[in-house]
Each structure stands twice: as structure tokens, then as C-alpha cells.
Structure 1
């Protein structure tokens, strides 16, 4: 009898684990790829990884990982006047700058720029 109860309990636990992994329909953030000097983080690469509607927390974790590894840097963060929750990071990577705007919940805008000044000017006029 004890063996039967142990078997049923183990089966229930395994079924519960499987259901919680696939049953919610949500995927976690993609694993952050380690880039090299021969294959650096670029604006095109980031535009493939980040998208409008992406969860802000997932974005923040991913960009911080690249910053910590020295593969990207946030050269500036622009606050938008009159829009308290809206800001944009200007990210510097190997081939330029990428502006990534958010409303503190999700990514709302992504655009590459040649310089941080171009990005700031565009963001202040258009967001």
C-alpha cells in the first residue's frame, strides 16, 4: 500500500511540474547570447532581439547582461517631457546606437541612430 501511495504521489508531482512548465503558454525571456569581437552585438542584432510590445523587465535583464559583459553600454537615458512613465535608453554597440523607448511596462519604440545626439534630438521631437 505504501509503495502505491508513493508511486501515485510521485506521478502527481511530475504531472504538476509538466503542467506548470507548458500549461501557462508563456515563454521566458530568450537566453542572452554571449557575443565576441569577431561577432559583436550590433544594432541589427538588438533589433532582432527587442521588439515593440516586449516586456520591459525582460528587456532590462537582457540589456544589463550585455552591459555587464562589456558588449553594450547605455550612453544616455532620455526622459520625455509630459509623459511621466516614458523614457528611452540610447544603447551603444559595435556599429552604432539604438534607441529603445518604454512606458515602464513594455517596449514602445526601437530605432537605430549614427550618434547619441541624433537619437536624443529625434526622441525629444517624436515621442
Structure 2
């Protein structure tokens, strides 16, 4: 019995030393159900949260307004894209002037064209169809930016 107790203690001590002593040891895989449980919990949280929907044109125009500086506009656009509230559809440049730009944003009820001059937002207009947007920008002598 005494030999069994000594062997058990020795085995226990060696396993702890082996686990703690090696920095090069690869981490053990989690063979318990913890990973699956965590994944299930994340999935259920995602299902509980409502999926972000595109904002309508009116709400986009409330958040992006004429006169807004370019940095504020960029930050607002990034935040809305990350939340799934809008999507940048196309970019346009004024023919012969890379500073004058327009970005077409998707809304739940159409499209919003945001025009900038390199410093601030100069115009925000909403349209029902992409063709209306393209016609509007073509009248202003803008062409699609194919650089990206």
C-alpha cells in the first residue's frame, strides 16, 4: 500500500512538473465540450440580436449633411458600414479633378449620392434607382472611379 501511495505521488508530481516546466510545449487541445458550448452561446447571442438593416435615404441624409467636414463624414460612413446600415456602392470623380468626388451609398429605399470637394461634403442627394444617380453625376461631368 505504501508503494502505491509513493508511486501515485511521484506520478502526480511529474505530471505537474511536465505541464509547467516546458515553454516550448504546445498548448493542449480542449477536448471537453467547452469550445462547443462557447460556440453555441455565441450563436444564440447573434440570433438574439437583431440584424442591422440599411437605413432609409432620409436617415442617411440626417447623418451625412452638406457642410460636414471630410474627416467627420469618413468616420460616420465607416461606423455605418460596420453596423450594416449602408454600403458604399460606387465612387465617382469629376473629370480632370481628383479632389471633387462622389460616393454612392445604398439605402433601404434607393441610393444616396454624397459629393465632396476634398474638404467637406458639398451635396447629399437621394435617388430611387442607380440609373437616376448615374444620370445626375453624368450631368456634373463625373465619371466612375475604377482605381479600386
Deviation for aligned residue 1:84: 2.2
Q: Does 1:66 align with 2:90?
A: no
What does residue 118 of structure 1 align with? 132
Q: Does 1:86 align with 2:90?
A: no
Q: TM-score, length-normalised on structure 2? A: 0.56
* Partner Cα separation in structure 2 for residue 50 and residue 70 of structure 1: 16
CA offset digits 1:71-90 (Å, max 9, x no partner)? 21011011110222011000
* Partner Cα separation in structure 1 for residue 109 and residue 78 of structure 2: 19
**CA gap 1:73/1:38 in 2 versus in 1, 3 angstroms:** closer
Deviation for aligned residue 1:51: 1.6
| Contact 2:110/2:129 (<8 A) preserved | yes
Structure 1 residue runs of 5 or longer lacking an equivalent are: 1-35
Q: TM-score, length-normalised on structure 1? A: 0.65
CA offset digits 1:35-73 (Å, max 9, x no partner)? x66975111011112221110110111111111222210
Give the 4+ runs in structure 1 shifted more than 2 A. 36-40
The partner residue of 2:90 within 31, 55, 76 is 76
Q: Does 1:104 align with 2:126?
A: no
Structure 2 residue runs of 5 or longer lacking an equivalent are: 1-49, 142-148
How many aligned positions are there?
A: 92
Task: Please provide the CA RMSD for this pair.
Answer: 2.0
* Partner Cα separation in structure 1 for residue 92 and residue 55 of structure 2: 22
Moved more, 105-114 or 76-85: 76-85
